[in-house]
Amino acid sequence: MARESDGARRTESGLPLDPVYGPDALDGWDPARQLGEPGGYPFTRGVYPTMYTARPWTMRQYAGFGTAAESNARYRQLIANGTTGLSVAFDLPTQMGHDSDAPLAHGEVGKVGVAVDSVEDMRVLFDGIPLGEVSTSMTINAPAALLLLMYQLVAEEQGVPAHRLTGTVQNDVLKEYIARGTYIFPPKPSLRLVADVFRYCRAELPKWNTISISGYHMAEAGATPAQEIAFTLADGIEYVRTAVAAGMAVDDFAPRLSFFFVARTTLLEEVAKFRAARRIWARVMREDFGAQDPRSWMLRFHTQTAGVQLTAQQPEVNLVRVAVQGLAAVFGGTQSLHTNSFDEAIALPTDKSARLALRTQQVLAYETDVTATVDPFAGSYVVESMTDDLEAATLALMERVADLGGAVAAIEHGFQKDEIERSAYRIARETEAGSRVVVGVNRFRLDAEEPYEPLRVDPAIEARQAAALARLRSERDSGAVASALAALRAAASSSSQDNVLYPMKTALAARATVGEVCGALREVWGAYEPAGPL
């Protein structure tokens, strides 16, 4: 948070932050309309009546690196240490729909997540982990349908019926065009694929959260809290419109929508942000889309602490930052939480740092009194005022997106990306000038940093994955793969909007690879090439 030249403070969203708040801050405030009760519309106070007084949030630690076997060992370690939900990180080739032996994958295999080329890797990834008992989140977007189907196939091998599977697939491709860049197909077919996942899960995986509409990556790129929730909710509106246009009734899919936000060190504004987001979404779904099921009005979300605020300098200080950020998420009413490891600004987390990150959540849940009461900030002069201010700023940004024709049209104009880049530039300038204090970076520095030995990924992984792929291709029924991929191309090109997940599952069961399945879809849909400001 930066100070103005006159010493006054503003929030991360640029809104005034007064030194003292009193009753006048809530003049004209209507508790019945703006606050409500916990678990009741408009859900400002939380989506469930009892929140953490009944049970804590899901402690879902994000992990994945190297090979499927290495990541499996990390998952087992996290489960043994008390994590209550898994969250899978995939490497860049997998996220971009390329096999590990593709030329474009060179140098990136297993680096920022686990390499998954086929159902064989997925089987190893979850070896010994009972998929009927654990909830799994997968951070995958453009090829989300593929990884979800692989997960289902492995569960079926374990004897777990699809209707028992619980978890989330991120499946949010719109934010890729805005802030992250791991897109494959153009927006229109990408949205069709999202809608196909909605329809498939309603029929086959009824307990699965079909999308995690994500502001986290926008925040990591520099978005303010107001921009984060405005652009995320605008994307959510686009997905709802797409599903309705595909013939789905809003209450048939909206209860399975979920969201993903960041938690920064600016605790008060983050709490206000989460409360404002719930309130806006409830009104959009009830009033704009006519949803009748109260579950359709709920904004349920996962939170991750802010990786962009971690520093390589004095990395142990990140333990304090993460604890504050985790507390902001809990005070804000998150449904699940990932706390970053203190060494993530340097390298992949070690076993010890990952365990400490989990212990941070456990201390919050079991050693503090934050789970003893629901929405402890309700009625706070400052938080309620900030919630109202953030709601107004967010709605103004959402209106600008709507004026451009919606989220996709705004993306094509480069609107969200330009807004976020301006915010990122402002933050960088404030940090360089020292008006924004970053402990250990521009104040309270050490003359010399203590040595630290990071976790390193074995570069031989790429060769081992390539060898495994060669073996897979030589042993599988190539005719069955070719036939299944032909059926997938036919469904993708069908004017009747056949659901592509059914032939896709057949292809993956025949051991078609991620690259081959995405390649078949590229042949029909093409690949996205950004233009203009993008």
Instruction: For residue range 88-116, list pLDDT tens digits in order.
Output: 999 999 999 999 999 999 999 999 999 99
Looking at the predicted structure, is the pLDDT value of residue 496 above 50? yes
> What phi, psi does 190 have (nearest 5°)?
-65, -40
Q: What is the pLDDT of residue 171?
A: 98
Distances (CA, A) of 411 to 67, 199, 276, 415: 35, 25, 24, 6
Q: What is the pLDDT of residue 301?
A: 98
Instruction: For residue range 368-395, list pLDDT tens digits in order.
Output: 999 999 999 999 999 999 999 999 999 9
Instruction: For residue range 166-198, list pLDDT tens digits in order.
Output: 999 999 999 999 999 999 999 999 999 999 999
For residues 44-62, give the mean pLDDT: 96
Distances (CA, A) of 453 to 251, 272, 330, 348, 458: 51, 38, 32, 11, 15
Query: Closest Cα partner for 208 from 248, 240, 169, 166?
Result: 166
Lowest mean pLDDT among 15-19, 151-155, 286-290, 296-300: 15-19
Looking at the predicted structure, is the pLDDT value of residue 215 above 70? yes
Query: Closest Cα partner for 192 from 513, 423, 501?
Result: 501
Length of the chain: 534
For residues 508-512, give the mean pLDDT: 98
Q: Rounded to two decimals, what is the model's pTM?
A: 0.95
Q: What is the pLDDT of residue 533?
A: 46
Q: What is the pLDDT of residue 348?
A: 86
Q: What is the pLDDT of residue 258?
A: 96
Query: Closest Cα partner for 360 from 335, 342, 348?
Result: 342
How far is the C-alpha of 126 from the C-alpha of 132, rounded, in Å?
12
Q: What is the pLDDT of residue 452?
A: 82
Higher pLDDT, 1 or 281: 281
Q: What domains are there in the chain, each with its CATH number?
A: 56-433 (3.20.20.240)
Q: How does residue 534 score in pLDDT terms, banded at 50, 70 and 90?
A: very low
Looking at the predicted structure, is the pLDDT value of residue 532 above 60? no
Rg (CA), the chain: 23
> What phi, psi does 141 have (nearest 5°)?
-125, -80
Distances (CA, A) of 187 to 1, 184, 247, 399, 430: 35, 9, 19, 21, 35
Alpha helices in 293-349 (DSSP H): 294-297, 318-331
The pLDDT mean for the chain works out to 95
Contact 62, 139 (CB under 8 A): yes
Q: Which residues of 314-327 are buried (b: 16+ CB within 10 A; e: fewer)?
A: bbebbbebbbbbbb
Instruction: For residue range 389-422, list pLDDT tens digits in order.
Output: 999 999 999 999 999 999 999 999 999 999 999 9
How far is the C-alpha of 22 from the C-alpha of 26, rounded, in Å?
8
How far is the C-alpha of 427 from the C-alpha of 2, rounded, in Å?
8
Tell me the Ramachandran region of residue 444: left when phi exceeds 0, alpha when psi lies from -120 to 50, beta otherwise.
Answer: left
Higher pLDDT, 428 or 33: 428
Looking at the predicted structure, is the pLDDT value of residue 481 above 50? yes
Q: How does residue 4 score in pLDDT terms, banded at 50, 70 and 90?
A: low
Tell me the Ramachandran region of residue 375: left when phi exceeds 0, alpha when psi lies from -120 to 50, beta otherwise.
Answer: left
- From the number of C-beta atoms within 10 Å of its C-beta (0-12, 13-18, 19+), residue 520 rates as buried
Tokens 């203009």 label which residue?
532
Query: Closest Cα partner for 509 from 494, 492, 487, 526?
Result: 487
Residue type, 62: Y
- From the number of C-beta atoms within 10 Å of its C-beta (0-12, 13-18, 19+), residue 413 rates as middle
Q: What is the pLDDT of residue 497?
A: 76
SS3 101: coil
